């Protein structure tokens, strides 16, 4: 019987999360038990249950952590006050695509959980709260983009933020669960162009101000 080395509570939680993520990536979500996680994390099985209570709670915590990474990307975009908004949005699409490509099997399991929250099947969870925070950041980014003149102003920023969110997650889900022959980040960049083709200010006005200047000369 292997000896379980006592570790601090915070360290135990981190160890359990990291072990669970590695196991989910290697075996899939449904093939991993809490006992498997405890063994991989080198903690007692009771420690895993003390930290998370159930496998569902453990999966919820990991899913919230994944979405927290999305929030951090949005925070970085908001902190950048010089780069045009369309460039920031393209970068978000591409960065997320490349990150998911690196651990496809893990994200395939996790995005099922994100889908439940998006459909309102897991209300009140940490995941839902993190999704709400992400949508708030998206709204701030689009509102600022309109104020700076980067994005068209004839659409509600709430609608543009919702469209962005739907296109991001929809593209990822289609790539994860359908046959495909191209990297996700390539598909994500194409999706970004579909979105920005109608919302980037520099593409929205076909004849910007020149006719007015000519009339003044007359």
User: What DSSP string runs through 156-183?
Assistant: -HHHHHHHHHHHHHHHHHHHHHS--SS-
Query: What mean pLDDT comes out for the span 176-196?
Result: 89
Judged against a pLDDT cut of 70, whether residue 123 lies above it is answered with no
Q: For residue range 80-96, list pLDDT tens digits in order.
A: 999 999 999 999 999 99
What is the number of other CB atoms lying within 10 angstroms of the CB of residue 99? Answer: 16
Hey, do 9-52 and 56-201 end up sharing a CATH topology, with the first three levels equal? Answer: no
Sign for the CA dihedral angle at 172, 176, 181, 183 comes to: positive
Structure tokens of 77?
A: 């975009």
d(C-alpha 100, C-alpha 183), whole Å: 10
What CATH class does 56-201 carry? Answer: mainly alpha
How distant, in Å, are the alpha carbons of 72, 86, 167, 173 from that of 159? 22, 16, 12, 21
Judged against a pLDDT cut of 70, whether residue 8 lies above it is answered with no
Banded pLDDT at 11 (limits 50, 70, 90): confident
pTM (global) more than 0.85: no
- Output the pLDDT for position 217: 41
CB 157 within 8 A of CB 139: yes
- Output the pLDDT for position 139: 97
What is the DSSP secondary structure assignment for residue 30, as one 8-state letter? G
How distant, in Å, are the alpha carbons of 140, 163, 199 from that of 131? 14, 14, 23
Report the Cα–Cα distance between both ends of the chain, in Å, rounded. Answer: 94
Domain ranges of the chain: 9-52, 56-201
d(C-alpha 2, C-alpha 119), whole Å: 43
| Selected residue with higher pLDDT from 33 and 198 | 33
Q: For residue range 36-65, list pLDDT tens digits in order.
A: 999 999 999 999 999 999 988 898 899 889
CATH superfamily of 9-52: Homeodomain-like (1.10.10.60)
* Triad 135, 28, 112: Cα angle to 5°: 30
């Amino acid at each position: 019987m292997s000896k379980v080395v006592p570790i601090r509570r915070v360290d135990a939680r981190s160890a359990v999360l990291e072990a669970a993520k590695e196991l989910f990536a290697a075996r899939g979500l449904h093939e991993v038990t809490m006992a498997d996680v405890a063994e991989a994390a080198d903690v007692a099985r009771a420690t895993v249950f003390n930290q998370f209570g159930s496998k569902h709670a453990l999966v919820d915590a990991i899913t919230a952590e994944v979405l927290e990474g999305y929030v951090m990307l949005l925070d970085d975009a908001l902190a950048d006050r010089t780069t045009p908004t369309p460039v920031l949005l393209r970068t978000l699409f591409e960065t997320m695509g490349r990150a998911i490509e690196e651990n496809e099997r893990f994200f395939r399991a996790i995005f099922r959980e994100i889908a439940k929250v998006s459909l309102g099947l897991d209300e009140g969870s940490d995941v839902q709260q993190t999704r709400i925070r992400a949508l708030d950041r998206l709204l701030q980014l689009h509102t600022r983009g309109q104020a700076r003149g980067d994005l068209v102003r004839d659409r509600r920023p709430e609608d543009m933020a919702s469209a962005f969110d739907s296109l991001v997650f929809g593209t990822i889900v289609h790539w994860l669960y359908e046959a495909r022959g191209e990297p996700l980040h390539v598909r994500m960049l194409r999706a970004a162009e579909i979105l920005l083709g109608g919302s980037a200010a520099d593409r929205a006005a076909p004849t910007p101000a020149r006719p007015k200047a000519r009339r003044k000369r007359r």
